[in-house]
Amino acid sequence: MKSKYWIAFSSIEQIDSTFIQSLYNYFGDIEKAFNATFDELKNIEGLSVRKSENFLKYRDKVDLDRTFAEVETRGINFLTLEDAKYPKMLKNIANPPAVLYYKGKLFECNLEKTLAIVGSRKASLNGKDDLRKIISGLSNTDICIVSGLASGIDTVAHTSAIENNIKTIGVIASGLDHIYPASNKTLYQNIENGYGAVVSEYYPTFEPIKFRFPQRNRIISGLSYGTLVAEASLKSGALITANLTLEQGRELMCIPGLISNPNTQGIYKLLKNGATLVTESDDILNALNWEIKKELSNEQLTLPMMTDEEDIIFKNLEIEEKGVDELLALTSLKLDDLLMNLTTMELKGIIKQCGGDRYKKV
Domain that holds residue 17: 3-73
Q: Which of 73, 91, 123 is the last residue of a domain?
A: 73
Does residue 298 lie within any of the structural domains?
A: no
Query: In the beta sheet, which residues pair with residue 79?
Result: 100
Question: Does residue 131 sit in the same domain as residue 236?
Answer: yes
Are residues 175 and 142 located together in one domain of the fold?
Answer: yes
Q: What's the helix, strand, coil split of the chain in %, to 5? A: 45, 15, 40
Q: What is the pLDDT of residue 269?
A: 94
**Among 167-176, 265-274, 353-362, where is mean pLDDT lowest?**
353-362
Determine the pLDDT at residue 301: 45
Q: State pLDDT tens for residues 198-248.
A: 999 999 999 999 999 999 999 999 999 999 999 998 888 899 999 999 999
Residues 136 and 224 in one domain: yes
Are 309 and 357 in a shared domain? yes
Average pLDDT over residues 351-357: 83
Predicted local distance difference test score (pLDDT) of residue 299: 47
pLDDT band per the 50, 70, 90 thresholds, residue 295? low
Pair 179, 265 in one domain: yes
The answer to whether residues 56 and 125 belong to one domain is no
Average pLDDT value for residue range 67-83: 96
Same domain assignment for residues 118 and 243: yes
Same domain? 255 vs 328: no
Q: What is the CA radius of gyration of the chain?
A: 24
pLDDT over 70, % of the chain: 97
What are phi and psi for residue 117, nearest 5 degrees? -130, 125
Residue 79 has a pLDDT of 98
Span 136-156, average pLDDT: 96
CATH number at 126 reads 3.40.50.450
Q: DSSP class of residue 174?
A: S
Calpha distance 331→309 (Å, rounded): 8
Helices (H), 124-277: 125-136, 153-163, 185-190, 212-222, 237-247, 265-272
**Residue (of 112, 192, 183) closest to 154 by Cα position:** 183
Any domain includes 96:
no
Closest by CA to 5, choosing from 37, 25, 34, is: 34
The reply to whether 270 and 140 lie within a common domain is: yes
Q: Does a structural domain hold residue 61?
A: yes
Residue 41 lies in a domain: yes
The domain spanning residue 323 has which CATH number? 1.10.10.10
| Amino acid occupying residue 225 | Y
Quick one: 172 and 315 in the same domain?
no
Range 284-296 average pLDDT: 84
* Type of residue at 247: E
115 with 206, same domain: the answer is: yes
Residue 347 has pLDDT above 90, yes or no: no
Indicate if the pLDDT at residue 355 is higher than 80: no
Q: Judging by beta carbons within 10 Å of its beta carbon (0-12, 13-18, 19+), is residue 313 exposed, middle or buried?
A: buried
Q: Is residue 98 part of a domain?
A: no
- What percent of the chain is predicted at pLDDT more than 90? 79
Total domains in the fold of the chain: 3
Task: Band the pLDDT of 303: cuts 50, 70, 90.
Answer: low
pLDDT grade for 35, boundaries at 50, 70 and 90: very high
Please determine, for residue 345, whether its predicted confidence score (pLDDT) is greater than 50. yes
- For residue 61, count CB atoms less than 10 angstroms from its CB and return exposed for 0-12, middle for 13-18, buried for 19 or more: exposed
pLDDT tens digits along 170-183: 999 999 999 999 99
What distance in Å separates the CA atoms of residue 291 and residue 94, rounded to the nearest whole number? 29
Which of 50-59, 141-150, 243-252, 347-356 bottoms out in mean pLDDT, i.e. has the lowest? 347-356
Give the model's pLDDT for residue 69: 97
Domain contains 22: yes
Which has the higher per-residue pLDDT, 163 or 359? 163
For residue 334, the one-letter residue type is K
Mean per-residue pLDDT, 249-269 = 93
**Domain end among 236, 264, 288:** 288
249 Cβ contact list (under 8 Å, min separation 6): none
In 3D space, the residue among 258, 260, 259, 217 whose CA is nearest the CA of residue 238 turns out to be 217
Instruction: List Cα–Cα distances, 120 to 123, 267, 348, in angstroms.
Output: 5, 11, 34
